[in-house]
């Protein structure tokens, strides 16, 4: 999944695109951070933290994360208890068939581990397994219909489809197996402390020599780390044993049983868990700063104001006041440039009702669709621009491109966002607004684009 900081940053993006009203205005935060130092990702993280000044987003994410960890912990405890109880039930008799108990301990576990390994080697695709989305529903983790909760649920749902989630699911599965094997180990140690067992073996097909060889193979790895392994004499005496055997022989069998559970059960499963944890870290989802939303912010931080020198080189005369927009009588096309606006009918005062609402013009695909439309239709374009935006070189290129294709011309309307802010504008903010308005006047005048008064 995304890191906590990435999650907050991504939630701010989704909420801002959805015209959510934050505790702190995103545009002001973006402007104030323009001269701050830091990498792009670090600055985006700080920006998101400041926008979430009341901690609403952090609280929602913390609530979901806490419930996920709680579910994992409860399931691990339940699996551990089930392993303890299962083995406790299995070892009720005083005389225990060693190989029968060993198969009950490690048989199914080994098959599942080998099956997981084969599936991992075969399935090398980057697709998240469908079982994740089938059995995990983020909406079950938190209830709520507010914007932040719904956006958080949507974000978690997107993360479930990420390729790295297959390793998260495998890691969780290995963790449950480790909990079960740990419960079995605790049960064995407890019972061997409080009870005295005799270990036997029996077989219709295998001879003593075959069982001696099998036992030595089984005990080779445990013996390397200090566990005892029954010798040939002990193995022979244990065949069909029904009474109490010498304590030294029973301890050899008990040591081999504990060593086998550790070496052939817990250690391989722990290695698989560690491997999945490492792969999950390597494949972990990261913030995609190539999205147009983030690129727009980063480009704003990389520049100051309009490239006035560039305009002066291109034009000999720079008019300080933009020409007054002349609204045509025919059909018009209206669109918003980059930023959404709260008033759905912002254009009606100037454009009237005979309009084609293009919506939000945000990325290259939107621009190409608009240009294709203008090639086929004779309309005048009314472009709504957020008054907090800057008339930088890239923005003015877009306006020039639209103006060249619009058969009845392009006019611009600056949309004031002061009525939707949750704070009183300071004198400094008012000064910034005046300066930005003058920058738009100069830029539109230089490019001969009319401004709606």
Q: Which residues have C-beta within 8 Å of that of residue 43, sequence separation ≥ 6?
A: 33, 36, 301
Nearest to 129 by CA among 97, 164, 96, 177: 164
List the domain boundaries for the chain.
4-282, 305-451
pLDDT of residue 379: 83
Burial of 385: CB neighbours in 10 Å, binned 0-12, 13-18, 19+:
buried
Cα–Cα distance, 237 to 208 (Å, whole number): 10
How high does pLDDT run on average in the chain? 82
State pLDDT tens for residues 406-443: 888 888 888 876 644 444 445 555 666 777 788 888 88
Q: How would you label 345-376 residue by residue, b for 16+ Cβ within 10 Å and e otherwise?
A: ebbeebbeeebeebeebbeeebbeebeebbee
pLDDT band for 322, please (50, 70, 90 cuts).
low
Residue by residue, DSSP assigns 388-447 as TS---HHHHHHHHHHHHH-TT-EEEEEEP-GGG-SSPPPHHHHHHHHHHHHHHHHHHHHT
pLDDT of residue 392: 78
| Element containing residue 384 per DSSP (H, E) | strand 380-386
State pLDDT tens for residues 189-232: 999 999 888 888 888 787 778 888 898 999 999 999 989 988 88
> In the Cβ-directed half-sphere of 378, how many Cα atoms lie within 13 Å?
3
Decide: pTM greater than 0.95. no
Q: Which residues have C-beta within 8 Å of that of residue 442, sequence separation ≥ 6?
A: 306, 308, 311, 318, 319, 320, 322, 391
State pLDDT tens for residues 37-76: 888 899 999 999 999 888 888 888 888 888 888 989 999 9
Cα–Cα distance, 19 to 296 (Å, whole number): 17
For residue 346 the two structure tokens come to: 């912002």
Neighbours of 146 (CB within 10 A): 11
More confident of the two residues 272 and 149: 272
């Amino acid at each position: 999944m995304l890191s906590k900081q990435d999650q907050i940053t991504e939630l701010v993006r989704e909420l801002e695109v959805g015209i959510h009203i934050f505790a702190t205005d995103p545009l002001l935060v973006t402007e104030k951070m323009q001269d701050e130092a830091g990498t792009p990702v670090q600055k985006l993280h700080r920006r998101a933290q400041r926008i979430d000044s009341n901690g609403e987003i952090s609280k929602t994410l913390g609530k979901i994360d806490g419930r996920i960890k709680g579910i994992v912990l409860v399931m691990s405890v339940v699996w551990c208890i089930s392993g303890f109880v299962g083995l406790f039930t299995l070892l009720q008799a005083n005389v225990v068939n060693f190989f029968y108990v060993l198969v009950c301990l490690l048989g199914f576990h080994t098959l599942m581990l080998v099956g997981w390994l084969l599936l991992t080697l075969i399935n090398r695709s980057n697709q998240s397994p469908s079982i994740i989305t089938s059995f995990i529903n983020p909406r079950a983790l938190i209830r709520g219909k507010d914007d932040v909760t719904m956006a958080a649920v949507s974000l978690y749902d997107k993360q479930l489809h990420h390729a790295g989630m297959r390793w998260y699911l495998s890691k969780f599965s290995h963790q449950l197996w480790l909990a079960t094997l740990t419960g079995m180990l605790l049960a064995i140690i407890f019972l061997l402390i409080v009870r005295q067992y005799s270990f036997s073996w029996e077989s219709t097909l295998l001879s003593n020599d075959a069982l001696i060889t099998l036992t030595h193979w089984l005990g080779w790895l445990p013996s390397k780390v200090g566990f005892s392994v029954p010798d040939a004499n002990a193995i022979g005496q244990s065949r069909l044993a029904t009474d109490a055997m010498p304590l030294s022989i029973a301890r050899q069998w008990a040591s081999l049983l504990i060593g086998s559970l550790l070496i052939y059960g817990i250690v391989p499963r722990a290695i698989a868990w560690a491997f999945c944890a490492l792969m999950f870290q390597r494949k972990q989802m990261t913030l995609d700063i190539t999205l147009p939303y983030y690129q727009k912010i980063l480009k704003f931080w990389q520049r100051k104001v309009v490239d006035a020198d560039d305009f002066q080189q291109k034009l000999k005369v720079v008019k300080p006041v933009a020409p007054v927009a002349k609204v045509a009588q025919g059909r018009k096309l209206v669109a918003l440039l980059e930023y959404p606006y709260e008033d759905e009918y912002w254009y009606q005062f100037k454009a009237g009702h005979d309009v084609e609402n293009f919506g939000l013009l945000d990325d290259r695909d939107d621009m190409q669709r608009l240009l294709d439309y203008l090639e086929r239709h004779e309309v005048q374009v009314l472009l709504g621009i957020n008054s907090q935006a800057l008339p930088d070189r890239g923005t003015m290129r877009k306006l020039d491109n639209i103006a060249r294709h619009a058969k009845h011309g392009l006019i611009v309307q600056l949309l004031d966002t002061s009525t939707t802010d949750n704070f009183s504008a300071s004198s400094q903010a008012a000064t910034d607004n005046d300066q930005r308005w003058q920058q738009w006047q100069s830029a539109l005048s230089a490019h001969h684009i009319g401004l709606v008064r």
